[in-house]
Amino acid sequence: MSTLTAVLYGALVAYLGGWFFGYWSGNFALLLFTLTLFTFAYWLAERFRFKPAREAAAAALVDQDAARRAGLAKQGIERVDGDIEPARHKLLAQPWWLDWTAGLFPVILIVFLLRSFLFEPFKIPSGSMVPTLLVGDLILVNKFHYGVRLPVLNKKIIANNDPQRGDVMVFRYPVDPRVDYIKRVVGVPGDEVAYLNQRLSINGQPVPTQSLGEFYDEDSLRYEPMFSELLGSVEHRILVDPKRPTYYGGSQKNFPLHENCRYQPEGVVCKVPPGHYFMMGDNRDNSQDSRFWGFVPDGNIVGKAFFVWMNFGNVGRIGAFN
């Protein structure tokens, strides 16, 4: 078993190494689920086979020592050298391969349950949500706000709240579901979302905005015009640069349900289909979002982002956000 465990750990290290260096894309949810099953199997084997076997061997050692001492006592030898306690403790001790499998099962199980059903950590990888979220922000995602979903399969089994306009949501990128994205919900099912001449309208009504001066973007090392935007009941900040031209490239007809969108020189107008959502980044001129790759299906939802728990470059970032 020690050889098998060493081989399995070697495969795990190789998988994580290839993932870290970019040779392939990893799936942390699937990895954690696999580790939970793997360590659970060892925990069962330890509980019902290996531990009873060690205890039986230790008991046999004690019985043999007692029998030896009784035999010597019959011969008139009362004082017998030798302490079997070190040997008994050695027989009862877990080998390393059980320490690193069965011993880790409770910890891995707790992490798996917390991450799958309660809260999941997420690191902001790009500037598409500036100024709300900055690169390097470590945030928490509420996994049960939009309903309870099966781990790995991400299938909803218990409904809860529906996504609302203004929510900051983490979801599986429709183009590559192995990748998680974070954007703001702009359109819910049935909405007509228009983004024309860098102004957002929902169902024909312009979304209220107000100028807030300029924001210094540390990534681009430039000042950007900043506005407050009232989307639904959520007031938040956005960046919009009127000097930048509106351009959506030539791939806008490649995504599912693309017929719900109309592209024109001034921008795009989309009718959000049932069971889907239209997402946009708060950094409107630096965000690859639903304007480019289409709608997010309900089955791709991961959870609602709500709290920055750390930014190692700026601890003042810690706190809730809109």
- Which are the catalytic amino acids? 128, 183
Question: What's the angle, vertex CA 57, arms to CA 51 and CA 59, rounded to 5?
Answer: 100
Taking CB atoms within 8 Å and a gap of at least 24, the contacts of 111-119 are: 111/32, 112/32, 112/33, 112/35, 112/36, 112/151, 115/29, 115/32, 115/143, 116/29, 116/32, 116/143, 116/151, 117/143, 117/144, 117/148, 117/151, 118/142, 118/143, 118/144, 119/143
* β-bridge partners, 208: none
Helix axes 105-117, 28-45, angle to 10 degrees: 150
Nearest to 255 by CA among 301, 294, 291: 294
